[in-house]
Chains A and B, each alone.
Chain A
Amino acid sequence: MRQASLLLLNVFVIAICGLVYELVAGALASYVLGDSVTQFSTCIGVYLSAMGLGAWLSRFVENSASRVFVEVELAVALIGGFSAPLLFSAFAYGAFFRPLLYLIVGIVGTLVGLELPLLMRILRDSLAFKDLISRVLTFDYIGALVASIAFPLFLVPQLGLIRTSLVFGIANALVGLWGTWLLADSIHRGLTLLRWRAGIVIVLLVGGVIQADRFTQWSEERLYDGQIIHSSTSNYQRIVVTSDQVGFQLYLNGNLQFSSVDEYRYHEALVHPAVRSFIEQERVPRRALILGGGDGLAMRELLRYSSLESLTLVDLDPAMTELASTFDPLVELNQASLLDPRVEVVNDDAMLWLEQPHEPFDVVIIDFPDPSNYALGKLYTTRFFRMLSRVVTDDSRVAIQATSPLFTRRCFWCILRTMEAADWHVLPYQASVPSFGVWGFGLAAREPLVAPSTAPDGLKHLDADTMQSLFRLPTDLGPIPVEIQRLDNQILVRYHDEAAMVTPESL
Chain B
Amino acid sequence: MTSPASWNRRQIITTALGAAVGLLPGCRYRRTPLSPLPPGELVGADFSLGHLVRDQARNDSLFDDSQLASLPRVECDVVIVGAGVSGLSAARRLKQQGIDDLVVLELESVSGGTARGDQAGAFSTPVPWGAHYIPAPMKHQTELIALLEELGALEGVDSEGHPIPREEWSPRAPESRFWFRGSWYEGLYAWPGASDDDLNQLHKFESLIDAWVAWRDEQGRRAFIIPADQGSDSAEVRALDRLSMHDWLVSHELTSERLLDYVDYACRDDYGLGLRQTSAWAGLFYFAARQATPEGESRPYLTWPEGNGFVTRFLARGLNRLETSTAVARVIPAASVSERARVIAVRPDGSRRLFAAKQVVFAAPQMLAPYMIAGYDSSALLPWRGTDGEGDNATESNEEAWEAAPATRGEAAREFRYAAWVVANLQLDRAPKETGHELAWDNVILGSKSLGYLATSYQRGDDHGPPVWSWYYPVIDDDPSQPRRRLLELDRDAWAEIVLTDLERAHGDIRERVQRLDVMRWGHAMIQPVPGFRFGAARRLGSEPWRGIHFAHSDTSGLPLFEEAFERGLRVADAIAKRLKDDAGEEAA
Contact = CB atoms under 8 A, between A and B. Distances in A.
Given A235-B430, A488-B300, A490-B174, A378 B167 contact: no
A352 B430 contact: no
A74 B173 CA distance: 48
A396 B439 CA distance: 36
B461 A352 contact: yes
Contact of A381 (B167, B174, B175): B167
Contacts of B464: 235-236, 316, 349, 375
A42 to B, nearest CB: 39
Interface in A342-384: 349, 351-352, 355, 373-375, 378, 381-383
Contacts of B438: 373-374
A195 interface: no
A316 B462 CA distance: 12
B168 interface: yes
Contacts of B462: 349, 352
Nearest to B459: A487
Contact of B461 (A235, A351, A382, A490): A351
A488 B461 contact: no
Contacts of A316: 464
Interface in A488-502: 488-490
Contacts of A375: 463-464
Contacts of A486: 167, 170, 173
Contacts of A382: 167
Contacts of A487: 167-168, 170, 172-173, 461
Contacts of B167: 381-383, 486-488
Interface in B306-365: none
B172 A374 contact: yes
A351 B461 CA distance: 7
Interface string B408-446: 000000000000000000000010000000110000000
B465 interface: yes
Given A486-B167, A487-B167, A378 B465 contact: no
A206 B468 CA distance: 38
B171 interface: yes
Contact of A374 (B170, B173, B465): B173
Contacts of A352: 461-462, 465
A383 B168 contact: yes
Interface in B167-190: 167-168, 170-175
A316 B430 CA distance: 15
A489 B171 CA distance: 9
A378 B459 CA distance: 11
Interface in A330-350: 349
In this complex, the interface size class of chain B, counting residues with CB under 8 Å from chain A, is 10 to 19
**Residue in A349, A355, A374 whose Cβ sees the most chain B Cβ within 10 Å:** A374
Interface string A294-318: 0000000000000000000000100
Nearest to A375: B463
Contacts of B173: 374, 486-490
**Residue in B167, B175, B300 whose Cβ sees the most chain A Cβ within 10 Å:** B167
Contacts of A383: 167-168, 461
Contacts of A490: 172-174
A488 B172 contact: yes
Nearest to A488: B170
Interface in A76-102: none
B92 to A, nearest CB: 28
Nearest to A377: B173
B466 to A, nearest CB: 12
A39 B242 CA distance: 76
B183 to A, nearest CB: 10
B461 A378 contact: yes
**Residue in A349, A351, A488 whose Cβ sees the most chain B Cβ within 10 Å:** A488
A292 to B, nearest CB: 14
B463 A378 contact: yes
**Residue in B439, B463, B465 whose Cβ sees the most chain A Cβ within 10 Å:** B463
B513 to A, nearest CB: 14
A89 to B, nearest CB: 19
A225 B93 CA distance: 69
Interface in A195-239: 235-236
A490 B300 CA distance: 14
Contacts of B172: 374, 378, 487-488, 490
B221 to A, nearest CB: 31
Interface in B58-74: none
Nearest to B173: A490
A317 B491 CA distance: 41
A349 B465 contact: yes
Contacts of A488: 165, 167, 170-173, 175, 300
A429 to B, nearest CB: 27
Interface string B444-474: 0000000000000000011111000000000
A379 B465 CA distance: 16
Nearest to B461: A351
A373 B464 CA distance: 13
Nearest to A383: B167
Nearest to B168: A383
Nearest to B172: A487
A349 B170 CA distance: 20
Contacts of A489: 173
A486 B438 CA distance: 17
Contacts of A355: 461
A490 B173 CA distance: 6
A15 B46 CA distance: 78
Contacts of B465: 349, 352
Nearest to A422: B167
A311 B279 CA distance: 63
A489 B462 CA distance: 17
Nearest to A376: B463
B134 to A, nearest CB: 14
Interface string B66-107: 000000000000000000000000000000000000000000
A337 to B, nearest CB: 24
A374 B175 CA distance: 11
A422 to B, nearest CB: 10
Contacts of B170: 486-488
A375 B170 CA distance: 16
**Residue in B165, B170, B175 whose Cβ sees the most chain A Cβ within 10 Å:** B170
A488 B439 CA distance: 14
Contacts of B300: 488
Nearest to B175: A488
Interface string A426-465: 0000000000000000000000000000000000000000
A147 to B, nearest CB: 33
B131 to A, nearest CB: 20
B228 to A, nearest CB: 27
Interface in B211-230: none
Contacts of A381: 167
A235 B429 CA distance: 12
Nearest to B439: A374
Contacts of A349: 461-465
Interface in B366-409: none
Nearest to B166: A383
**Residue in A352, A355, A382 whose Cβ sees the most chain B Cβ within 10 Å:** A352
B298 to A, nearest CB: 13
Contacts of B165: 488
Interface in A467-507: 486-490
Interface in B149-179: 165, 167-168, 170-175
28 contacts: A235-B430, A236-B464, A349-B461, A351-B461, A352-B461, A352-B462, A352-B465, A373-B438, A374-B173, A374-B438, A374-B439, A375-B464, A378-B461, A486-B167, A486-B173, A487-B167, A487-B168, A487-B172, A487-B173, A487-B461, A488-B165, A488-B167, A488-B170, A488-B172, A488-B173, A488-B175, A488-B300, A490-B173
In the complex, the 5 A-B pairs of residues with the closest C-beta atoms, listed nearest first = A375-B463, A490-B173, A488-B170, A383-B167, A487-B172
Given A316-B464, A349-B464, 5 more contacts: A349-B461, A349-B465, A352-B461, A487-B167, A490-B174
